[in-house]
Chains A and B, each alone.
Chain A
Amino acid sequence: MSRLKFNVVFAVLSAACLAVAGLQAGGGGQQNYDNVQVNIQKAQGSVYMLVGAGGNVTVQIGVDGVLMVDTQYAPMSGKILAAIRTLSQAPLRYIINTHSHGDHTGGNENLKKAGATIAGGNVTLDIGDAAQGAQIIAHINAYKHMSARVNGQFATPVASWPTSTFIGDDKKLYFNGEGVHIIHQPAAHTDGDSLIFFRKSDVITAGDLFVTEGYPFIDINTGGNVQGIVAGLNKIVDLCIPVYGQEGGTMVIPGHGRLSDIGDVINAREMVTIVRDRVQDMVKKNMTLEQVKAAKPTKDYDSLYNPPDAFITADAFVEAVYRSLKK
């Protein structure tokens, strides 16, 4: 892992810690993003993956405008917008947040300003500025974390908060000629996670319940749980239809890491499920957390998921699994 990547990962960790404390600012700390490039990787259909600093960004383009999922850190907004403009000059209409962490929502405020909501009818009512800025959609729990008061201050700037929340299992849009299905995945990476399924393009944005660059971060303090991670990965597997050989077909954009498909999700699910089962067995035997860590239930996966500069170390992952199962 390069030094820059390490710094970025450190920034993610810092942001995550802020989220836990309810002090998430979305600015990415003191990191210098000058040399970070935003790269564009086409997923398929109308959907693209943008890779820079922080979580992956999803962009859907078409005649109705631009819809994006997650916004990385605030200092990245200019580069992200410039990358979007190489794909489309249409107005940015929607921002969807997969969850509340700053590496996915830090650019909300800046990018919202660059867009405009489709207003009129019951979207406007008597709110004069309803059309100003893109609409930000997230699950209600993500909103709660972003708007929480900690030590008299909001966790994130008011202007970055979701402007449209949902409380049930899902929310549905039809945009750019396809159904966009926002599916709440309870208690997984956090308690405010959403999967976004672009039905015609056949692309799923997974958020941080699926990552390819290490062990998943189970944010216990923000309502995350390993059982939700397993359920979420199974949900993605259920939604995916491969072409042949358990490859291709539905594309999956992870919260962090490379463009994926069902095969990658199956591998992640296998690892998390097996580690969960091992720790569950140890919990049943009344082993303490220290005993569980000492038993190394991830030893066969550490060379893959626990590099020396890992964001989530093997010990941290095991501890999160243990605490999940003790709840």
Chain B
Amino acid sequence: MKRLAIALLALFAVSAPAHAQANLSGVWNNLGILNEDWPDRLPGPELGDYAGLPVNDAVRARADAWDASLITLPEYQCRVHPADYVSSFAGLRIWEERDSVSQQLIAIHTHHFAWGTERTFWMDGRAHPPAYAMHTAMGFSTGKWDGDNLVVTTTHLKEGWTRRNGLTRSDSATVTEHFIRHGDTLTLVISVDDQKYYTEPVVRSRDYEYEVNGDIGPYPCEPVEEILRPKGAIPHHLPGTNPFLGEYAKAHNIPAEAARGGAETMYPEYRKKLREMMK
């Protein structure tokens, strides 16, 4: 009898589908816990605030030239938040796609409230597409389990943004995400490796709470002509002419140099230098 039980157990172990180490399915919301990086989220970042990000000179110059009026152009109004940024806003639904016969996990899907964007994390071992394939705002994602944590790698992203004040993220970036479930809370750690515009990976985290009766509403967007402009005009500031760049530092009594960001400004050691500058 003991031998039979062991044999059955072995058979079950062999025939059972590979399962997720954690089930992330459900509706997760973060409206009650938006305090993390609050200024960067619902209010939106201030112009000229590059602090705490490992920006290089190129993206700093690009943000200096950025004019917020750009997003009044009809073709910019409904641009969705890219995959590495959309998690900052409201809830998401997560669900699994399984083969109906083998119950093998094929993919994990997400639907974000913000701009109604949907992502697919392929879990079936497929390769990322070739260089000549499309880039999209959501990119192409594959996932694997690291213990109980889901690790997602995303490539083929369209150009996006790291901060909504002109700090651009290039279309060459690779994004690595860790989805970590602790009971009814979910922590998402996002690392953006964009060597075109940032000297070190940009890392941020977002937290969600499980909602038993959660639902995700629609997010329609329809572009309209807000301002009549000459055909083809693109709002931007010529180099050295942006009058708004100093406002952030002045409003918060921060040294102008600190507001310009850079990898150094990410680390606690920078506080000592900051104190010296503010003497």
Contact = CB atoms under 8 A, between A and B. Distances in A.
Contacts of A303: 56, 58, 170, 196-197
Interface in B129-186: 130-137, 158-159, 170-172
Of A270, A273, A281, A302, the most chain B CB neighbours within 10 A belong to A270
Interface in B104-138: 115-117, 130-137
A245 B137 contact: yes
Given A246-B76, A263-B158, A300-B62, A39 B130 contact: yes
A257 B62 CA distance: 23
A159 interface: no
A158 to B, nearest CB: 33
A277 B79 CA distance: 24
Given A245-B78, A297-B239, A303-B196, A260 B134 contact: yes
Contacts, number: 93
Of B70, B75, B80, the most chain A CB neighbours within 10 A belong to B75
A264 B171 CA distance: 10
B234 interface: yes
Contact of A258 (B75, B78, B116, B135): B135
Given A237-B75, A246-B78, A277 B158 contact: no
B72 to A, nearest CB: 14
Interface in B15-68: 56-59, 61-62, 65
A274 B236 contact: yes
A247 interface: yes
Given A237-B75, A299-B57, 12 more contacts: A245-B137, A246-B78, A247-B80, A258-B132, A259-B132, A259-B133, A260-B135, A261-B134, A266-B75, A270-B70, A300-B61, A301-B62
16 contacts: A244-B80, A244-B116, A245-B117, A246-B75, A247-B137, A258-B132, A258-B134, A258-B135, A273-B232, A273-B234, A274-B65, A277-B234, A300-B65, A303-B58, A304-B170, A304-B171
